[in-house]
Structure 1
Amino acid sequence: MTITRNIEIPDAPRDAATLNKLMFVKLMPLLIAAYVLSFLDRTNIALAKHQLDIDLGISAAAYGLGAGLFFLTYALSEVPSNLIMHKVGARFWIARIMVTWGLISAAMAFVQGETSFYVLRLLLGIAEAGLFPGVMLYLTYWFGREQRARATGYFLLGVCFANIIGGPLGAALMQLDGVWGWRGWQWMFMLEGLPAVFFAMVVWKKLPDRPSKAPWLSAAEAEQIERRLAAEAEEGAGAGGHSFKQCLTPQILLAILVYFCHQITIYTVIFFLPGIIGKYGELSTLQIGLLTSLPWLAAAAGAIALPRFATTPARARHMLVAGLLTMAAGLGIASLAGPVISLLGFCISAVMFFVVQSIIFLYPASRLKGAALAGGLGFVNSCGLLGGFVGPSVMGLIEQSTGNAMNGMKIVAIILVLAAIAALRLRQGHEQKVGKQRLQSRRQPV
């Protein structure tokens, strides 16, 4: 008698290209959706600006200060938030962030004046802190340096989508003005804040902490991914990359300076573009919202199409410098031209918004590892995001003193040119090591 046994042969691990595609499909939609909700809830005050002035007497200067205060507490809370996420895992911590910011954003419906406006913006900054640098850290658990700029670019689509849908959606919600005795801006804050709380449950169920926790990867595949990324981190960061002191090295401080200038630009445009468009003529709230979405469509196109080409250190640096100069040129056009050309200028600038941002974070990520990487990414984002406080605050004062927000855009364009000059000196960790090795080999006698 012949006995036949069924022997199960484990599937061979999939190749790196297939695994990268799988990770993009499984992870990026969740992360993008979280960032969409995040940006809706931190920037929807831009549409409410006019009504907050009418209903509560919040002036342009007070509005600019309140818009910027978010970034003070956000920046101060970034490093501890990222260190906590490194210990407790991304799934729990990102879900926690979403629940608290959603509740506080919804509470903006109960603002009574300048003081409560300031307090809630400060609390929102604390609640939301850690999402962006947390995701930047999280991506280092999954993607190597060649894929990370592309993954970051996709993640930043959340900002584009939030601003594309935020204008029309916020305008539609403000049409509920008078329902149950609430003003339109109150409905907007409430109905845009609560979805973050519910989506946190999806993140809790679906987002794996790292490859070894992903049910859609085999043990061999997870080990392959984590081993490859560990080797890459060791190659780039070296022995010193474990120390948080590495965050104070000239190269990372230079990356912070460039990011600071970039964030001044982003948040100046986010918080003041609807008001600028509103002065183009007799436009309804819905028309302003639709026109506001056009630059963000351009930003989405740039984020999808361009970061994938930043596959080598030289390409990344060239794209970074070109991106900053393109942003400056677009804002320069916007500040000098009439309504149609001005809007075109904002669109030109916006194409490079998230190309630049996706590349900037390659520099600290190439030099740090472990807890230093977690804290370092939070530190870089914290310092850079101070630009989110400086930009709106200064723009509010310029608009109030000169009556023209475009004067502030000219200053921002100059800042971007200076950032481009600084970016010429940025080097990734692996790139700088190779350069030193070549220099040493040239000095050795033949």
Structure 2
Amino acid sequence: MSSGAAPAAPASADLNRLIFRKLMPLLIASYIIAFIDRTNIGLAKEHLEADLGISAAAFGLGAGLFFVAYASFEVPSNLIMHRVGARLWITRIMITWGLLSAAMAVVQGPASFYVLRVLLGFAEAGLFPGVMLYLTYWVGREQRARANGYFLIAVCIANIVGAPLSGALLGLDGVLGWHGWQWMFAIEGIPALLLAFVIFKFLPDRPADATWLTAEQAAELTRRLEAEQQDGAAASGTHSLAGVFKDKKILLVILVYFTHQIAVYSLTYFLPSIIGTWGEMSDFTIGLLTALPWVAAALGTTFLPRFADSPARSSRLLVGGMAAMAVGLVIAAVSSAAVALLGFCLAASCFFVVQSILFAVPASRLAGVALAGGLALVNTLGILGGFLGPFVMGLIEDSTGSPLSGLWFVIALVAVGALVSLTLRPQGTARKAETAKAGA
């Protein structure tokens, strides 16, 4: 039962534009750098095998161990951020992950590869769910999927820019006696360290700390969003972190997100290898082709989440997005190179449309500490798909000799996720009803 509180009036369009303009560039930049540092090993895969003897299975395990470490520290990380503030905590995350990402240049074999991937996972833990929590301090229910989608454009940009950049840096092989992959890791770790200081100086913790809002704007925005959170928590009946484990809708979100992450990270880590089987190509050319599905992902993320402005529309976009991911991967698995690339583009175009809506569900059902811990818990359990997908893909490649054969494992689980997504929609009322109430 609802508490009976009126739905929070939506913020003005001008205020939303101001918030997006001031906050999103910093948040997007941080995640672009994080994602490049997290995934650049995909292009180094063949080189690590040739230079250090790291097999496909060992590579998949190392790629996946990042997520085990990442997941284990996410809930504590978000609870710490809820206490100390986003500015300080995101700065800490960026400094430690930048140093550890650069340290990948000194990997000597499978053991050191595993250790540094685990440490990198610990270092970066909490960035994504932390930003999902941070956005609830600034953006209301109607605009949350859109804000999440804008943030997730960072992943697309990271892959569009990062794949060709990493491919070019691999071309430095032999300079000053270093392998190209060593230059790639060392150089791509530096931007995180530089941006950390920008985040510390310019990212406000909450509306009351923003010099670009008036005191009245900050107070009204805070009051409105706190009322919306309390109303959503009252309607869902979930008021504590322990209660999250009993909330069936959030558990279903975790299941769908798990299958989603299997698809995203299997493609992230193995697409360069798959493209490499299509013919003789340079690292730079492979990087350029690898970037194309992420261009499609950027287009989907830019134009589609804005339509998720009511529970019904959100539900349709979620189900349609998961189904399109499955269909695109099937096309990629059974087609020639050119058509397969189109299939990968179709699947990727819905990656972050789906993800932006999934995180709007718990954000519409929780408040306070339960919201901080609940968002982290969704990411903690869901992102373990980022471990399972690359690990199984690596095992299947070792047993079959083809990086493409593991796609059928991914397709089966995404199809399950699409069926489960039929049961999900964010908590709340439709936009017309909220707007009418606000204007009453």
Give the TM-score, by structure 1 length. 0.92
What is the Cα deviation at residue 19 of structure 1?
Answer: 0.5
8 Å CA contact 1:170–1:188 kept in 2: the answer is yes
- 2:146 corresponds, among 137, 145, 150, to 150
- The counterpart of 2:282, out of the listed 274, 281, 284, is 284
Distance in 1 (CA, whole Å) between partners of 2:342 and 2:429 is 37
* 2-structure distance, mates of 1:324, 1:64: 24
The aligned runs of 1:183-198 (5 Å cut-off) are 183-198=179-194
**What secondary structure sits across from 2:309 in the alignment?**
coil
- Structure 1 residue 218 corresponds to structure 2 residue 214: yes
1:376 aligns with 2:385: no
- Superposed CA RMSD in Å reads 1.3
Q: Following the alignment from structure 1 to structure 2, what is the Cα–Cα distance between the partners of residues 357 and 253? A: 15
Q: Tell which deviates more after alignment, 64-73 or 402-411.
A: 402-411
Q: Distance in 2 between matches of 1:318 and 1:246?
A: 27
Partners of 2:416 and 2:145 lie apart in 1 by: 23
For the 8 Å contact 1:78–1:129, the answer to whether it is kept is yes
Find the counterpart in structure 2 of residue 246 from structure 1.
243
Q: Which residue of 46, 61, 66 maps to 1:65? A: 61
Deviates more, 1:280-289 or 1:233-242: 233-242
Runs of 4+ in 1 over 2 A off after TM superposition: 239-242, 427-432
1:409 paired to 2:403: no
Kept in 2, the 8 Å contact 1:237–1:429? The answer is no
| Deviation for aligned residue 1:163 | 0.4
1:199 and 1:32 map into 2 onto residues whose CA distance is: 11
SS in 2 for 1:428: coil
**Could you report, residue by residue, the CA deviation over 1:260-285 in whole angstroms, capped at 9, with x for unpaired residues?**
00000000000000000011001111
Report the counterpart of residue 229 of structure 2 in structure 1.
233
Counterparts of 1:314 and 1:412 in 2: how far apart (Å)? Answer: 28
Letter in 2 for 1:398: I
Please give the residue correspondences for 1:286-435 in structure 2 after superposition, counting only pairs within 5 Å: 286-430=284-428
Distance 1:271 1:159 in 2: 13
Q: Which amino acid aligns with 1:90?
A: A
Q: 1:15: how far off?
A: 6.9
Distance in 2 (CA, whole Å) between partners of 1:398 and 1:370 is: 43
Q: How many residue pairs were aligned?
A: 419
User: Residues of 2 paired with 1:274 and 1:263: CA distance?
Assistant: 18
Structure-2 separation of matches of 1:417 and 1:390: 16
User: Which SS does the other structure have where 1:283 is aligned?
Assistant: coil
Match of 1:180 in 2: 176
Kindly provide the amino acid, as one letter, of the partner of residue 282 in structure 2.
Answer: S
Displacement of 1:223: 0.8
1:275 to 273, 276, 280: 273
For the 8 Å contact 2:314–2:425, the answer to whether it is kept is: no
Instruction: Give the percent of matched residue pairs that are identical in Structure 1 and Structure 2.
Output: 62
Match of 1:5 in 2: none
Deviation at 1:333, TM superposition (A): 0.1
Displacement of 1:337 after TM fit?
0.3
Contact 2:173 2:181 in 1 (8 A): yes
**Structure 2 SS opposite 1:215:** coil
The Cα shift of 1:429 comes to: 3.0
1:49 to 45, 48, 56: 45
Check if 1:117 corresponds to 2:113. yes
Contact 1:334 1:345 survives alignment (8 Å) = yes
Q: Residue in 2 aligned with 1:11? A: none
Superposed displacement of residue 135, structure 1 = 0.1
- Asked whether the 8 Å contact 2:149–2:302 carries over to 1, the reply is yes
Q: Matched residues in 2 for 1:115 and 1:241: separation?
A: 43
TM-score with structure 2 length normalisation? 0.94
Please, which runs of 5 or more residues in structure 2 have no aligned partner?
A: 1-9, 431-440
- Bigger-Rg structure (1/2): 1
Residue 28 of structure 1 aligns to which amino acid in structure 2? M
Which of these residues, 260, 263, 278, is aligned with residue 261 of structure 2? Answer: 263
How much does 1:311 deviate? Answer: 0.2
Instruction: Give how far 1:367 is off.
Output: 1.1
Asked whether the equivalents of residues 11 and 221 of structure 2 are also in contact (C-alpha less than 8 Å), the reply is no
